[in-house]
Each structure stands twice: as C-alpha cells, then as structure tokens.
C-alpha cells in the first residue's frame, strides 16, 4: 500500500501505511479514540499486542493520516467476507481524527483511501460501526452516502462468557440454552 497524497484540497495531507515503528503512535491514537468514545476504562490494548496481531500476524492493517508531516489520525481495518455477495469486504474497526484536526476533510480522505483499497481488492463493501450518540459521526457518514443498518443488532461474547462457551460451560443463569 503506497502513500497517498491528498486530492481534496488539503495539499499538506498524506496517508501512509503504518509500520512497526508506528506502534506507540497507533496506541496513543487508539487511547484518544477511547477517550472520545468515553470508553478509556475498557482500553487495555498494549503495544506488544498491536505488534503481534497487526505487524507479525497480519490480521489487520492500519493507515496513518499526516498533515504537514504531523500525525493527525489513523484507521485500522481488516478483511471480511460476505456470503450473500460472495465477495470479500473491508471492516473499519477504528477511524479517528484528533479533535484539533477535524473539519478539514481528513476523515473523508481516509475513508476515500479505504474505499479505493476495497475496490482495488475486489471487495463488495466497506463497513464500520458508529456509536448511536455520536451525532457528528453519523452526520459525516451519511453525508458520504453510507447507510445505517438499523435492522441489525451487534452481539458480543467476551471475557468469561467467551471462555465459558468455548469450554462448554453451561449458559449463565437466566439465559436460554440452545
């Protein structure tokens, strides 16, 4: 993935793939996102985990947005597959622009870059989630033509529930077994 220069009128903006030396920077941007989303208490990721899963295992990719050579944002994404489309997709786990750099078109440029990657890779879709209280984010995404999937509810197993299911433990009290 090559570095992309801004084509949206912000000539000082560039997007480049993250490399292992960017691990501490990515970690700080993830913490900035967690703080914005009011979830900093749940953010336990380490630089070692990022290096292991992104750079060594290759399970995800990250891009950095830089204005005048200064990092202002990042996106972390990974491949998915749609059985209905019969095509791969890209899922954007995180997209974050530092508060002082918002409103300059950088987020749009980063999503445009990801859309180009998706098209180049033969993907049928580019997807992400947005917290329902994040009105600025929702307005931004819909301005791009993105549509919310209101009929879908995201489910999550983590921690003890994930381990319990993996190990065949009985369902938690009050939950209906299958």
Question: How sure is the predictor about 176, in pLDDT bands with cuts at 50, 70 and 90?
Answer: low
Q: If you search the block for the tokens 């938690």, which residue do you land on?
A: 172
Rounded Cα distance, 125 and 146, in Å: 11
CATH label, 4-128, candidates 3.40.50.300, 3.30.1490.270, 3.10.20.30, 3.40.630.30: 3.40.630.30
pLDDT at 153: 87
pLDDT digits (tens, 9 = 90+) for 14-72: 999 999 999 999 999 999 999 999 999 999 999 999 999 999 999 999 999 999 999 99
Tens digits of per-residue pLDDT, 80-122?
999 999 999 999 999 999 999 999 999 999 999 999 999 999 9
For 161-170, how does the pLDDT look when each residue is reduced to its tens digit (9 = 90+)? Answer: 999 999 998 7
pLDDT at residue 169 in the model: 82
Neighbouring-strand partners of residue 91: 78, 127
Size of the chain, expressed as the number of residues it contains:
178
| Domain locations along the chain | 4-128
List, by residue number, the catalytic residues: 141
DSSP structural state of residue 144 = T
**pTM score, whole prediction:** 0.87
């Amino acid at each position: 993935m090559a570095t992309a220069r801004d084509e949206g009128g912000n000539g000082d903006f560039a997007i480049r793939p993250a490399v292992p030396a960017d691990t501490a920077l990515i970690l700080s941007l993830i913490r900035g996102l967690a703080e914005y989303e009011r979830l900093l208490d749940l953010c336990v990721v380490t630089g070692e985990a990022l290096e292991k899963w992104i750079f060594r295992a290759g399970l995800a990719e990250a891009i950095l947005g830089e204005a005048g050579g200064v990092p202002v944002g990042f996106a972390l994404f990974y491949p998915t597959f749609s059985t209905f489309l019969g095509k791969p997709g890209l899922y954007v786990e995180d997209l974050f622009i530092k508060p002082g750099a918002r409103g300059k078109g950088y987020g749009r440029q980063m999503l445009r870059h990801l859309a180009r990657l998706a098209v180049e890779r033969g993907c049928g879709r580019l997807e992400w989630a947005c917290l329902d209280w994040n009105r600025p984010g929702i307005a931004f995404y819909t301005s791009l033509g993105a549509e919310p999937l209101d009929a879908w509810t995201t489910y999550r197993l983590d921690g003890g529930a994930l381990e319990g299911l993996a190990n065949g433990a009985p369902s938690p009290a009050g939950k209906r077994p299958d």
